[in-house]
Structure 1
Amino acid sequence: MAEVYVFGQLVSAKEFSKRSLFCKWKIHFGHNWRIIEGLIEGQTQVDDPQTQEITYWCHPIDLHLATKGIQGWPKLELQVWNQDSTGRCNIVSYGFVHLPTQAGHHRITCHTWRPIGALSDQIANYFTDEGLKLTNEEIIVTNENRSRLQTQAMGDINLDLYLVLKSFDVYGIET
Structure 2
Amino acid sequence: MATNYDSLTAHDQQNPQKHQQQIGMKTMVIATVVGITIGLPLLALTGFIFLSTMALFLVASPLLILFSPLLLGAGFVIVAALAAFGAAGLLAVAGLSALGWVLRSVKSGQLQEGVGSVAGKLMEAGENVKENVKSTGKDWANQMKLRDEKTPEYGATANRA
TM-score range normalised by the length of the shorter chain: under 0.3
Structure richer in strand, relative to its length: 1
Q: TM-score scaled to structure 2, two decimals?
A: 0.14
Query: Which structure carries more relative contact order (alpha carbon 8 Å, separation 6+)?
Result: 1
Structure richer in helix, relative to its length: 2
